[in-house]
Amino acid sequence: MTYDFSSFPDRRGSGSVKWDSSLPEGVSLTPEQRSRLIPLWVADMDFTVAPCIREALQKRLDHGVFGYVNVPASYYDAVIRWFADRHGLQLRREWILYTTGVIPALSVAIKAFTQPGDGVIVQTPVYNHFFSSIRNNGCRAVASPLLRRELPDGRFTYEMDFEDLERCCADPANRILLLCNPHNPTGRRWSADELRRAGEIALRHGTLILSDEIHCEICAPGTAYTPLASLGEDLLEGSVTLCSPSKNFNTAGLQMANIFCARADYRERIDRAININEVCDVNPFGPVAVEAAYSEEGAEWLEGMNAAVWRNYALLLKAFLPEYPVAALEATYLAWIDVSALGIPSEEIEKELIRGEQVWINAGTMYGADGFIRINLACPDALLREGLDRVLAGLRRLRGDKN
């Protein structure tokens, strides 16, 4: 089947976070300017979901009653089959705990395994909600910065600093290694060797690994991500995996995520935290969407979406290189760009691009790295082209170019 990744419905006025959110503090636009704003910021696709998901949701909607939900056995079967067939991860039904999203899953997992004041290791730059979930549980974020490596084509990539990671894990006050696999915002698809080495360091020091694998299906064509828990019994037992179809299939608003945990005593602690945080009940549409996504038709749509993202990445490379270095994108639909040559704080760049060019990107500051911006590639190419033209025009303006 052929899928349309070149158009999408007008999302303005639909209650969309991406299109209708309040602007950053200190930024205002006229109504006309607001109507022109192109949002390339939050990790939310502008692609219509797979037809199989829409059809399943429509069938559930037609039922007409939306009471409390009992997640069926077919849900677990779909999750187990998908991860076994697609990723080589063998799950059991009792290992799967569901909740309303990966951020709630992250927060309950931190609550389950820490006490206030404990350290949680993060590999920066990293997803901004890692910091807030750690903080909200009264814990400390302990940064183990990734190492940047330049590539011959003008791009750059990141590697784990295993020596520093060893140092962090050796401190008994640091109870958790919070892994991002694939990594947001750098776009790294960690290799099996990298994951195994990081995992062995954590296990050697008794550090629990929480692995956020929400972007797991968005990888460069012809490649696939490696689930940490698939790399051996020790890593399966010594880790907890957080995942959801939400980023991969554009269903974040349906609020459904899973926690994979093989150890019964760990699951008991997580389940208690889920109930303490009151994120144990899901809506009637979430399980339906997951079952539809984790199907043959869902996989076919996913391949088309990935191809569209990588075509868009090629557009971005052509626009920014060699003037602005771009991270090598191996996974996610989020491009990470070095604009440090401007000498302007990235938060100010974000605000200036909204004010002057009516285009909204993410400042690198929120991920722990000033001098960078993050651009969402999951949108029709025509919208991206216009957005990139505006970003580059704004950067030229900020640099003081006369032309």
At 64, phi and psi to the nearest 5?
90, -5
From residue 20, alpha-carbon distances to 27, 330, 377, 381 in Å are 14, 30, 19, 21
Residue span(s) of the chain under CATH 3.90.1150.10 come to: 17-50+297-399
In the chain, CATH 3.40.640.10 covers 52-295
Q: What letter does residue 137 receive in the DSSP assignment?
A: T
Beta strand ranges found along 111-190 (DSSP E): 119-122, 140-143, 147-150, 156-159, 174-180
Rg (CA), the chain: 21
Question: pTM for the whole thing?
Answer: 0.96
Q: Is 47 helix (H, G, I), strand (E, B) or coil?
A: coil
Ordered per-residue pLDDT tens for the chain, 403 residues:
889 999 989 999 999 999 999 999 999 999 999 999 999 999 999 999 999 999 999 999 999 999 999 999 999 999 999 999 999 999 999 999 999 999 999 999 999 999 999 999 999 999 999 999 999 999 999 999 999 999 999 999 999 999 999 999 999 999 999 999 999 999 999 999 999 999 999 999 999 999 999 999 999 988 999 999 999 999 999 999 999 999 999 999 999 999 999 999 999 999 999 999 999 999 999 999 999 999 999 999 999 999 999 999 999 999 999 999 999 999 999 999 999 999 999 999 999 999 999 999 999 999 999 999 999 999 999 999 999 999 999 999 999 986 5
CATH 3.40.50.300 fits 52-295, yes or no: no
| Superfamily of chain region 17-50+297-399 | Aspartate Aminotransferase, domain 1 (3.90.1150.10)
Q: ∠314-302-84 over CA atoms, to 5°?
A: 125
The neighbour count for residue 107, using CB atoms within 10 Å, is 22
- Please report, for residues 56, 213, 279, 391, the alpha-carbon distance to residue 105 in angstroms, rounded to integers and kept in the order given: 25, 12, 8, 35
Q: What CA–CA distance (Å, rounded) separates 365 from 346?
A: 6
What residues contact residue 390 under an 8 Å CB cut-off, 6+ apart?
Answer: 38, 353, 357, 358, 359
Instruction: Give the E-state strand segments of 192-320 in sequence order.
Output: 208-212, 239-243, 257-260
Q: Give the three-state DSSP class for 198.
A: helix
| Residue 312 exposure: Cα atoms within 13 Å on the Cβ side | 30
Question: pLDDT digits over 187-243, tens only?
Answer: 999 999 999 999 999 999 999 999 999 999 999 988 999 999 999 999 999 999 999
